[in-house]
Amino acid sequence: LPLLVPTAGVMLVPERKTEDGFEEHFGLNYLGHFLLTNLLLDMLKQSGTHSHNARIITVSSATHYVGKLHLNDLQSRCSYSPHGAYAQSKLALVLFTYRLQHLLTANGSHVTANVVDPGVVNTELYKHVFWVVKVAKWMTAWLFFK
Does residue 26 belong to any structural domain of this protein? Answer: yes
User: For the domain that residue 107 is a member of, what is the CATH number?
Assistant: 3.40.50.720
Return d(Cα 58, Cα 9) in angstroms, integer: 12
Banded pLDDT at 132 (limits 50, 70, 90):
low
Does residue 128 belong to any structural domain of this protein? Answer: no
**How many other CB atoms sit within 10 Å of the CB of residue 122?**
12
Does residue 67 belong to any structural domain of this protein? Answer: yes
- Say if CB 55 and CB 1 are below 8 A apart: yes
Task: Average the pLDDT over 113-120 and give the result.
Answer: 82
Does residue 80 belong to any structural domain of this protein? Answer: yes
**pLDDT (0 to 100) of residue 120:** 56
**pLDDT (0 to 100) of residue 142:** 44
Taking only the tens place, the pLDDT of each residue in 41-52 is: 999 999 999 999
Taking only the tens place, the pLDDT of each residue in 63-111 is: 788 888 888 888 888 888 888 998 999 999 999 999 999 999 999 999 9
Does residue 31 belong to any structural domain of this protein? Answer: yes
**pLDDT (0 to 100) of residue 75:** 82
> Which residues form the domain of 48?
3-120
Reply yes or no on whether 86 is catalytic: yes
**How many other CB atoms sit within 10 Å of the CB of residue 69?**
14
Give how many domains the chain has, as a whole number.
Answer: 1
Does residue 84 belong to any structural domain of this protein? Answer: yes
Q: What is the DSSP secondary-structure string of 49-85?
A: -SSS-EEEEEE--GGGGG----TT-TT--SS--HHHH
Does residue 56 belong to any structural domain of this protein? Answer: yes
Does residue 143 belong to any structural domain of this protein? Answer: no
Catalytic residue among 30, 80, 86, 126: 86
Query: How large a percentage of the chain has pLDDT more than 90?
Result: 53
Question: Does residue 33 carry a pLDDT above 80?
Answer: yes
**pLDDT (0 to 100) of residue 140:** 56
Please compute, for residue 119, the number of CA atoms within 13 A of its CA located in the half-sphere on the CB side.
5
